[in-house]
Every structure is written in C-alpha cells, then in structure tokens.
Amino acid sequence: MATALWRRGWRFRWRAPAAAGRVRGAAGAAAAGQRNYDLLVIGGGSGGLACAKEAAQLGRKVAVADYVDPSPRGTRWGLGGTCVNVGCIPKKLMHQAALLGGLIRDAQHYGWEVTHPIPHNWRKMAEAVQNHVKSLNWGHRVQLQDRKVDYFNIKASFVNEHTVCGVTKGGKETLLSADHIVIATGGRPKYPMHVEGALEYGITSDDIFWLKESPGKTLVVGASYVALECAGFLSGMGLDTTVMIRSIPLRGFDQQMASLVTEHMASHGTQFLRGCTPLQVRRLPDGHLQVTWEDRASGRQDTGTFDTVLWAVGRAPETRSLNLEKAGVNTNPDNQKIVVDAREATSVPHIYAIGDVAEGRPELTPTAIMAGKLLAQRLFGQSLDLMEYDNVPTTVFTPLEYGCVGLSEEEAVARHGQEHVEVYHAYYKPLEFTVAERDSSQCYIKMVCLREPPQLVLGLHFLGPNAGEVTQGFALGIKCGASYAQVMRTVGIHPTCAEEVAKLRISKRSGLDPTVTGC
C-alpha cells in the first residue's frame, strides 16, 4: 500500500498583504515573504494532487507543499506519493514481470520453442520500472506548472489554523497561509521496533521497488495485501520467498477468498510460517541475515537465514510532524489518524483531511483521488456531492489476483443474518489454463446476495486472471443497486472468465458441487 498514497492544479496572482485586522497566522500581521492562497494542500500524493488540480481548474489560487523524508534505508523519491513511487505503479509492473515468467512457461504448450532455464534480470527490470516512475514524477510537476499551481518541496507544519511553516532540505523556511487547507500526507510503513535488529537490517515497501540488485532469498513479515503482493512477485521471479503470518491473511477481506489466495501461493512455491512472530534479526559474518522467531502456539523458537527481510506489518499516518495541535486538529489517539466528518472536515471547519491520513477511510488511491476532487468541487464549484465509501472495488495483485467489491460473506452475515443471505459460487477453469495444463483449483467466484427477491447483490468476490478488470466492470452494476436476477439476465462475453459471474446458478445453501463443467 497506501499511501498512500498513493494526484492535481493552477492560476496565480500575488495578493496584497492583508489588513492588520485580517491577518492570519501566529507570525503576526505582515510576515515577510508569507504567501497567501485560496487552497493549500499538504501532501503531493494521489489525493492531494487531485484536489489541488481540481481547485485550480475552478479558478482558485492553489499551492501544494510536499516533502518525502528518506526511508531508514535512505530511499528517496519524487512527487506523486506512495502510489506512484512505492506502491500501486511499481507493484503492478513487478507483478506483471512475474506473470510474464509464467506465460513464458506456458508458451511451450502453445507451440513456442522456449529454451530453459529462463533467467530473470532484476537490475534490468528495476531500472525500467524506476525510469517509468521518474517519468511520472516529472509529469506531475509539469501538470502543476501547466495549471499554475505553486509547488513547494518543503516539510510543512502548522503555525496556526491558517498558516504553515515549510522547511526545505537546506533549512530555509517559508510561510504559507490559506483560506482552506487540505491535509493529504498519507502514511509510511511501520517497523516492529520491539524486534531487535528490525530497523537496522530490514527494509519495507518504501525500499523494495528501488533496489538495484535482487533481494535474493527473502522473508516477508506480515499478511496484508502489501505483504502477499510483494511475496507473490518475488516468488514469481524465482526467488526463494517465505511469508511469516502472525494470525490471519488479508485481515478485513473475505476470509474464504484469503485462504484460497494463500493456498494458491503455497502451491506455487511461496513458503509460509503461520502463527509465528519475529524476535530478532542479526547480521552474520558472511552478510546474511539470521532471523529468530517464535511459534505462538508452542512457544518454540526457530531460526532461518535470509538475504533480505521485508517488513509489511502495517502503516502509520504521516501526522506527527505536522504540529496539528497548533491548529486545533484532532486525531485518534490510538492510531494518530485525523478525525473527519462526511465532508472530510476536521475539528477545524476550514481544514480537511483526505486519503490514508484520515480516520476510517479505505487506504486506496482511487478513493483518495475522488475524495480530493469532490472536496475541491464542494469548496469552489458549488457542488454538494459527498464521497461515498460504500461499494469501493479493489484488487489484490497476488499471483492469482483477487478482486472484490461490496461486503464480504462474513460482513453480510453479521449485518443481515445468515438466514437472510444467499451466496452463489463457482469453481471455474480459465480457458487459457487448459492447453497449458495449469492448475485452476483456486479459481473461484462468489456473489453475496440478500435472500429475499430480487436478491440485491451485496458483494462480489473474484479470484482469477485479470481480476481487477473483471471487478471494475461489475462494480458499476453493484454501485447502481444490481440484483442477482439482473446479473443472471446479463449476457456473458464468451469465452471469458468474467462471463462466469453471469452464470452463478449454484448456492452454497444447496450443497451442490459448484465446479463448472463444459465450456
């Protein structure tokens, strides 16, 4: 993940200094060099840039303040936030690299004479991915310039409720004030500081995509989508990869689907240490990392040797350095996320928070982007539209992709009761898997519906190739209130995996075998 993090803005006029009675900021009446804006966005990730660009297009004077502290390993990146630099974009490209390895192996079944073994060159892939990311960094800079949005590469913190002080890498300070301020600083990966050697010898998703050399034999600690996605593409590139799971995989997702995801990974070479927690990481004389862990059930300790330890144990919001207390902005004391209402407003009416930094929001790039756009339209475009956080589709880009939208089966049962929920499901075999003789044991679809006609669709879960593309299409129907009856009246496109959704005839309650036969 994120964040975030995780994108936009424009037009300029220097304002004359405000009259003394209207001056904003603790710096006093006429702070030298202070610049004033209609909107100041703190954070140059997906949501922040989207908000800034939208506001600028609506004719407002906008500034973006963005600064990336290097990771503990020293990794740095440019404008664009988590998504562009250390999240969605490089992740998807490395996922694609791993998928291509599988397709090359399939190719011989389709008549291509492929010489084995087929080595993978990490350095070449990483350079190509990093070059693309850098082009996106530049693209965001150009877009801001084209829309005449002021961009400041400064680390911003609040002076008061209308003013921030930004500090450059070289220590130069700049005061910025605005009528409206949006906080979109996203989050950063956590290190398990209680584990000896974690910070000294481990890396996170902030680093993996910028490694110049292959990480080699890797231990991934965690079971989030970040952990499983990284482990998946590492395994797909032929690297010896182990995932250490403390409790359950993909917490917050449908657990039947999560089990199938890890089952598929295990059957394709990824190793799992379940119910284990790390205790210590130390560097051996030969440069390898020795990890000691504990089996939580038995209390027994064990060790293993790895080239890389990747921590994927959660993310923390980037709020601690903002001096939010000086502006009166409230945070959740448990996780330091900013408390917001349905309008994205904080405890200070003209200060807003969007994206991963906001309490209770999905940590997803597209939600941050839409929330940012809608916020700008409400502030400056006479819109009243609020961001809707229900039925947000997403996909976990594990080797066998998992796409979902709406409620999990567990959530549906908890909300409506088992007797009011009907689940239609199927195990299917993608046509592409047949000639290549691929195992399709985990290719599975389920649609969670209300039992009472017309059986409103509450959630869709799809495990298989191109899950994101499939889920995106059905998400529109579910967003519009599609019923099971309507989906069943939808003509499928043949032969595709997506058409299997429109053929879900067998319910779990029936007890019948849900395996699809025939074409």
Q: Name the one residue in this structure whose structure tokens are 């800079």.
A: 141
Binding-site sequence positions for NAD(+): 222-229, 314
Give the CA distances from residue 364 to residues 142, 163, 342, 479, in Å, rounded to whole numbers and listed in that order.
24, 29, 17, 17
- Number of other residues whose CB lies within 10 A of the CB of residue 76: 11
pTM of the entire predicted model: 0.92
What is the chain's Cα-based Rg?
25
Tokens linked to 359: 């309490």
Q: Name the one residue in this structure whose structure tokens are 């941050």.
A: 368
Measured distance CA(38)–CA(131) in Å, rounded: 35
CATH for 190-313 is 3.50.50.60
- Number of other residues whose CB lies within 10 A of the CB of residue 277: 17
Per domain, the residue ranges of the chain are 35-186+318-381, 190-313, 400-506
Q: Is 494 a catalytic residue?
A: yes
What lies within 8 Å, CB to CB, of 19 at 6+ separation is: none
Q: Name the one residue in this structure whose structure tokens are 């600028």.
A: 56
CA 505 to the chain's CA centroid: 33
CATH for 35-186+318-381 is 3.50.50.60
Which of 109, 162, 461, 494 is the catalytic position? 494
Measured distance CA(509)–CA(421) in Å, rounded: 10
Peptide bond between residue 495 and the one before it cis (omega within 30 degrees of 0): yes
Helices (H), 76-197: 81-86, 88-107, 122-146
- Which residues make beta-bridge pairs with 39? 62, 180
3-state secondary structure of 123: helix
Instruction: Determine how β-strand 315-317 pairs with β-strand 308-311.
Output: unpaired
Taking only the tens place, the pLDDT of each residue in 322-353 is: 999 999 999 999 999 999 999 999 999 999 99
Helix axes 365-380, 46-57, angle to 10 degrees: 30
Are 126 and 294 in contact by the 8 Å Cβ rule? The answer is no
Measured distance CA(261)–CA(273) in Å, rounded: 15
Residue 163: name the closest of 174, 173, 177, 149 by CA: 177
Tokens linked to 434: 């047949």
DSSP run (H or E) holding 326? helix 324-327
Taking only the tens place, the pLDDT of each residue in 188-219 is: 999 999 999 999 999 999 999 999 999 999 99
Give the CA distances from residue 26 to residues 65, 163, 172, 264, in Å, rounded to whole numbers and listed in that order.
19, 8, 18, 58
Q: What is the pLDDT of residue 210?
A: 98
CATH for 400-506 is 3.30.390.30
* Burial grade of 54 (CB within 10 A; 0-12, 13-18, 19 or more): buried
In CATH terms, are 35-186+318-381 and 400-506 the same topology? no
Measured distance CA(180)–CA(379) in Å, rounded: 9
DSSP run (H or E) holding 8? none
Give the CA distances from residue 458 to residues 407, 410, 446, 450, 496, in Å, rounded to whole numbers and listed in that order.
6, 11, 11, 7, 23
Measured distance CA(318)–CA(279) in Å, rounded: 27
Binding-site sequence positions for FAD: 92, 356
- Each of the 519 residues of the chain gets a pLDDT tens digit; together they read 333 333 333 332 333 333 333 334 433 433 457 999 999 999 999 999 999 999 999 999 999 999 999 999 999 999 999 999 999 999 999 999 999 999 999 999 999 999 888 899 999 999 999 999 999 999 999 999 999 999 999 999 999 999 999 999 999 999 999 999 999 999 999 999 999 999 999 999 999 999 999 999 999 999 999 999 999 999 999 999 999 999 999 999 999 999 999 999 999 999 999 999 999 999 999 999 999 999 999 999 999 999 999 999 999 999 999 999 999 999 999 999 999 999 999 999 999 999 999 999 999 999 999 999 999 999 999 999 999 999 999 999 999 999 999 999 999 999 999 999 999 999 999 999 999 999 999 999 999 999 999 999 999 999 999 999 999 999 999 999 999 999 999 999 999 999 999 999 999 999 999 999 877
User: Residue 175 phi/psi, 5° resolution?
Assistant: -100, 130
Are 359 and 5 in contact by the 8 Å Cβ rule? The answer is no
Measured distance CA(376)–CA(371) in Å, rounded: 9
> Nearest-5° angle of CA 270, CA 271, CA 273?
145
3-state secondary structure of 145: helix
Write the DSSP symbol of residue 277.
E
